[in-house]
Amino acid sequence: MMENIHKRLRIINGAALAPVANAPKFWNMATVNENEAEITLYGEILSRRPIDWWTGEPEPGLFICPEEFLEDLALIKDKGKITIRINSVGGDLYTGMAIYTQLKGLQGEKTVIIDGIAASAASLIAMAGDTIKIPAGSLMMIHDPTVYLWDVYNVKALKEVIKMLDAAAQSAAETYAVKTKLEVDAIRSMMHKETWMTGREAVEKGFADEILYEDEPQMVMSADRQVLMVNGVKQNIRGYRNIPDYIPVSSRITASANPQAVNKNNTEGGKKKMFKTVEELKQACPELVKQIEDTAREEGRKAGITEERTRLKAIEDIQAAIGDDKIVADAKYGEKPCTAEELAFKALQQQASLGKQFLQNLQQDHDNSGAADVGANPNAGNPTNLGGTAEDEKAAEAAAVAMIVGKNKKGDEKNDQKNA
């Protein structure tokens, strides 16, 4: 009897899903370098390839099943560092637990990043990480397994179903407990309530290790609460009871749209397809490229703000020593703003220019006074050159500059005394 139940029964740790005729492959694996790899898990978790009802053969195409996942996982199993990115509302419980087991068994250092949501079976997969990182605005959800039934059942058969569901829930709770260190009974209570957690709540309760301070995920839900769009990926949330009310609702999202696969155009026969140009990547993954571009723009904006604040602070630190509000204002907000170092150099140039102009004015006053024509000779008849030798002129120029600097310094000291 139990064998027949297994054939007619599908246990789901997520929304109740009917058999899917054209399920997209929802995962992708990529080698970053000789020692690192990345696994991307976006979309719903499905249990098997659809079968052609006429031929009995698996339908061709890109579908998810544990066997295919294990086959591709073998390509990166020896990497020392593996990053696992998750954006999934869950799906088939047994598939999720199988993927968890496979990932947990990898010898490399595993870092899980929740790119938007890890709900239901996807949250189980997340527990395979040695370190779990989650943005504050991302979501994690745990709940009791549910079942999708079709066929006719008697009381005895239904009791067996209940026993099976309880065993599945216990197994999931024990998996969470390994990571969180919480009591299994406490976790079972959270699962029974269908507990949704923000990133911070997940860290506080032990389901994640640290907050990831990156751009927050973008979420919007359909008006009928059947579909959740997370970072551009549509996911089926039909059957969930306690979806947070703070998720924005949009009438433009419909439940009829199929969830989007993260790599529907960049795989061939389960093997990764490499992009040779940016244009190829844009055509295959336009939403991913847009997300990367938006992130880069935002990071550039933040870096620019920080750099400008640092520049202005450095100028303000030397503003009092410059003593010229106009060139300081020009350095900050003029047509050609500059750094504090450039401002200091300009100030020195200005002081040198003022000293040179003073000497020129002094020489002009001397020439205009006619003193050069006076015949007095106080040096025992030795004629004196009022202009002096070249060395005398340099000494006089240096003395004049020193006098100007001294005056400016005394003026600064007086200003400091007034300000004090």
User: For 151-177, how does the pLDDT look when each residue is reduced to its tens digit (9 = 90+)?
Assistant: 788 899 889 989 999 999 999 999 999
Task: Look at residue 321 in the predicted model and tell me its pLDDT.
Answer: 76
pTM for this predicted structure: 0.56
Q: In sequence order, what are the beta bridge partners of 379?
A: none
Using the CB atoms, write b or e for 361-397: b if 16+ within 10 Å. Answer: eeeeeeeeeeeeeeeeeeeeeeeeeeeeeeeeeeeee
325-333 vs 286-322: helix axis angle to the nearest 10?
180
| The residue type at 274 | M
pLDDT 10s digits, 114-135: 999 999 999 999 999 999 999 9
Q: d(Cα 408, Cα 420) in Å, to the nearest integer?
A: 18
pLDDT in tens, the chain (420 residues): 444 444 444 455 554 343 333 444 456 777 788 899 998 888 778 776 656 777 777 655 434 566 667 777 888 888 999 999 999 888 888 888 989 999 999 999 999 999 999 999 999 999 999 999 999 989 999 999 988 777 788 899 889 989 999 999 999 999 999 999 999 999 999 999 999 999 999 999 999 999 988 777 888 888 888 888 888 777 788 888 889 988 888 877 665 444 444 443 343 333 444 555 667 666 667 777 777 777 778 777 888 888 888 888 888 887 777 778 888 888 888 888 888 888 777 777 777 666 666 566 666 665 666 655 655 555 554 554 444 555 555 555 555 555 554 554 455 555 555 454
Report yes or no: 260 and 284 within 8 Å, Cβ to Cβ: no
In sign, the C-alpha dihedral spanning 357, 358, 363, 366 is positive
pLDDT at 367: 66
Question: What pLDDT is stored for residue 140 in this prediction?
Answer: 96
pLDDT at 114: 95
What's residue 394's pLDDT?
57
Q: What domains, with CATH codes, occur in the chain?
A: 2-273 (3.90.226.10)
- Amino acid 1: pLDDT: 43
173 token code pair: 């709770």
Report pLDDT for 69.
74
